[in-house]
Chain A
């Protein structure tokens, strides 16, 4: 029957249906394909080229070979920004994961008010702009809410952290801030938990397993693919931290805040590219080299995680 219909339709059309559909398909996908070529592939290739040149937009790129890269590897700010960035990745990701998996487990216990709790935990995620960053700069001010609370529980004023003033406490401050924005992670973990078949728990109950045993031997292994995906994307995001550091450091963003303690990789890259640090303005060649180095680092870290995943991520299809 389908053939008969096609036959009648064909006569009216200029092209064969399959060709027509293929053309339509490409046409419909064209916005993305054009965008991909113009805004992603083209720029990436160009940036690979500029990373081997001296280029400030106004002049023509001058080929200087690997000089940008060799300069980068002897640049103390490069190592400082890399160190700061790794610090954030290493401290923040485990804490975010623990907190969001923990809250998701609580939400999955089918307690009253589940919908309300879900809304509350997601709420901060809605507010990701400069306004929210300022709110936290205010809460973590030397005489802000957090230190007021520390004072209430008996921490003397001179022992209270100088959050975004004292280089020791700037990054911990950002970590605390970050723990407010975990609503998205919680929701994804919750969806993962809801997806675990109840038959597994029923079988374990027959065998007399306790609540903890069920969590350790069923819930966590079944959730591990979700955790893995969240950790991988979380790390990619953490490597590119910029706006928070930029807004928090304010007028000191060109030096990365107190003692450069918030000079994260992308902030340093921004400063190089848009002329607030170093010998010249608009050092696009140097900044491009920085971007590629970070890209390679992210690739390596992701590859390492894929390799490690074999040891801890549980996939049902595996034998």
Chain B
């Protein structure tokens, strides 16, 4: 774990590489390597292009193998979202769950990381090693008992349910306890901030909560951004959680809603609609990625969180 601070610097080095205007040296090997990269780029992009192409086709000829549709059926985009009255509700549900998860995740992660990075308390290192240990814990071990737990916790009629099942609670409450990966990432960032800043604020009589909120939090913006973005993506695209906990259709998220295309069609899928719907649902994450990709990339490298 000692290497992570070095890793931070390396990441910075990669991310902050100056735009290069220098001349590249070329050799046969390097030309071949460049062509290999171009080929890989093509392979990575093709699925997206195919998705766009299909989404604009007449459903009856969706599998004609043509890249440019004979006729551009823009109405796929409106029809995909009108076959079910609940789409508006599903958008709203997804946005609510995502926003609460992001806020909860960022605030609690930052508080907990502050405690590990900048406060001294007995048992701190032991607790932190527990945080690290949970990073390796397979989620499957807690899946069933968590479901049982949520089925016993009272919801007092929230969203019409006696217990937490069939409410948003199992999806939006756990983020408020922070996630091990992000706590780890945030702690690394906070350790890089000189302690003198905190000491000075303390002399002026600031409480730890104020030092956290007004001094340290603003200095960790890149980490906050990375965590917010990852939590956003995780919540937006979560499938297993909603599948387990949201049973009535009006509580569905977009991910569950997408599956209705298949079930509504009774086996034969309308691929044109499905691709149009999928594209629109992907769009928010895609846009956020393109705007904030720097933070994505920094975050991935720092947490070592590759193939989720």
List the interface of chain A (C-beta within 8 A of B).
5, 9, 18, 21-29, 31-36, 38-40, 42-44, 46-47, 50, 57, 96, 100, 103, 106-107, 109-115, 117-132, 134-136, 138-139, 141, 143-145, 148, 180-182, 184-185, 187-188, 190-191, 194-195, 211, 229-230, 233-234, 236-237, 239-240, 242-243, 246-247, 250-251, 266, 269, 273-274, 284, 287-288, 291-292, 294-295, 298, 302
Q: Which residue of A lies closest to B25 (CB)?
A: A110
Q: Which residue of A lies closest to B63 (CB)?
A: A143
In the assembled complex, B157 has its CB within 8 A of some CB on chain A: no
Q: Which residues of A contact B304 (CB under 8 A)?
A: 188, 229-230, 233
B114→A130 contact, CB < 8 A: no
A295→B145 contact, CB < 8 A: no
Cross-chain contact of A188 among B112, B262, B300 (Cβ < 8 A): B300
Q: Which residues of A contact B14 (CB under 8 A)?
A: 190-191, 194
List the one stretch of B40-48, B69-77, B81-89, B218-226 in contact with chain A.
B40-48
Q: Which residues of B contact A134 (CB under 8 A)?
A: 258, 261, 274-275, 278
CB distance from B285 to the nearest CB of A (A): 5
B51, B138, B202 interface centre (most CB from chain A within 10 Å): B138
**18 A-B pairs in the complex with CB atoms less than 8 angstroms apart:** A22-B122, A24-B208, A28-B119, A31-B177, A100-B306, A129-B238, A130-B256, A130-B278, A134-B275, A143-B65, A145-B50, A148-B65, A182-B306, A191-B14, A242-B240, A251-B263, A288-B145, A295-B141
Decide yes or no: A185 and B306 within 8 Å by CB, A31-B176, A32-B178 being known contacts: yes
CB distance from B103 to the nearest CB of A (A): 13
In the assembled complex, B148 has its CB within 8 A of some CB on chain A: yes
B127→A33 contact, CB < 8 A: yes
In the assembled complex, B193 has its CB within 8 A of some CB on chain A: no
13 further interface pairs, Cβ-Cβ under 8 Å (given A144-B63, A242-B240): A22-B120, A31-B108, A31-B176, A32-B131, A34-B177, A36-B177, A103-B40, A112-B24, A123-B289, A125-B307, A194-B14, A237-B308, A291-B141
A122→B40 CA distance, assembly (Å): 12
The majority secondary structure among interface residues of chain B is helix
Q: Which residue of A lies closest to B234 (CB)?
A: A128
CB distance from B290 to the nearest CB of A (A): 8
Q: Which residue of B lies closest to A25 (CB)?
A: B121
Decide yes or no: A291 and B144 within 8 Å by CB, A135-B275, A143-B63, A251-B262 being known contacts: yes
Taken residue by residue from 27 to 47, chain B's Cβ proximity to chain A (1 for < 8 Å, 0 otherwise) reads as 001100110110011001111
Q: Which residues of B contact A131 (CB under 8 A)?
A: 255, 258, 277-279, 281-282
A191→B138 contact, CB < 8 A: no
A28→B275 CA distance, assembly (Å): 45
Decide yes or no: A236 and B289 within 8 Å by CB, A28-B111, A185-B307 being known contacts: no
Cross-chain contact of B142 among A40, A115, A124 (Cβ < 8 A): A40
List the interface of chain B (C-beta within 8 A of A).
6-7, 10-11, 13-14, 17, 24, 29-30, 33-34, 36-37, 40-41, 44-48, 50-51, 54, 63, 65, 108, 111-112, 114-116, 119-122, 124, 127, 130-131, 134, 136-149, 151, 174, 176-178, 183, 202-203, 205, 208, 212, 233, 236-240, 243-244, 255-256, 258-259, 261-263, 267, 271, 274-275, 277-279, 281-282, 285-286, 289, 293, 296-297, 300-301, 304-308
A203→B291 CA distance, assembly (Å): 41
A85→B57 CA distance, assembly (Å): 37
CB distance from A144 to the nearest CB of B (A): 7
B300→A239 contact, CB < 8 A: no
B144→A40 contact, CB < 8 A: no
CB distance from B193 to the nearest CB of A (A): 16
A85→B132 CA distance, assembly (Å): 26
Q: Which residues of A contact B176 (CB under 8 A)?
A: 31, 35
The 8 closest A-B pairs by CB, nearest first: A35-B177, A25-B121, A184-B306, A43-B145, A129-B237, A131-B278, A28-B115, A47-B145
Cross-chain contact of A250 among B51, B127, B262 (Cβ < 8 A): B262
Q: Which residues of B contact A125 (CB under 8 A)?
A: 307-308
Decide yes or no: A50 and B202 within 8 Å by CB, A33-B127, A195-B7 being known contacts: no
Task: Report the number of A-B residue pairs with Cβ-Cβ less than 8 Å.
Answer: 293
Cross-chain contact of B174 among A39, A130, A236, A246 (Cβ < 8 A): A39
B293→A35 contact, CB < 8 A: no
Q: Which residues of A contact B151 (CB under 8 A)?
A: 57
CB distance from A132 to the nearest CB of B (A): 7
Q: Which residues of B contact A32 (CB under 8 A)?
A: 108, 112, 127, 131, 177-178, 183
CB distance from A137 to the nearest CB of B (A): 8
Cross-chain contact of B37 among A111, A185, A247 (Cβ < 8 A): A111
Decide yes or no: A138 and B271 within 8 Å by CB, A131-B281, A240-B138, A240-B139 being known contacts: yes
A35→B174 contact, CB < 8 A: yes
Q: Which residue of A lies closest to B46 (CB)?
A: A145
Cross-chain contact of A25 among B37, B120, B136 (Cβ < 8 A): B120
Decide yes or no: A50 and B307 within 8 Å by CB, A122-B300, A129-B236, A269-B140 being known contacts: no
A87→B222 CA distance, assembly (Å): 40
B308→A117 contact, CB < 8 A: no
A143→B293 CA distance, assembly (Å): 35
A25→B36 contact, CB < 8 A: no
A180→B286 contact, CB < 8 A: no
A237→B300 CA distance, assembly (Å): 16
Cross-chain contact of B307 among A42, A114, A127, A182 (Cβ < 8 A): A182
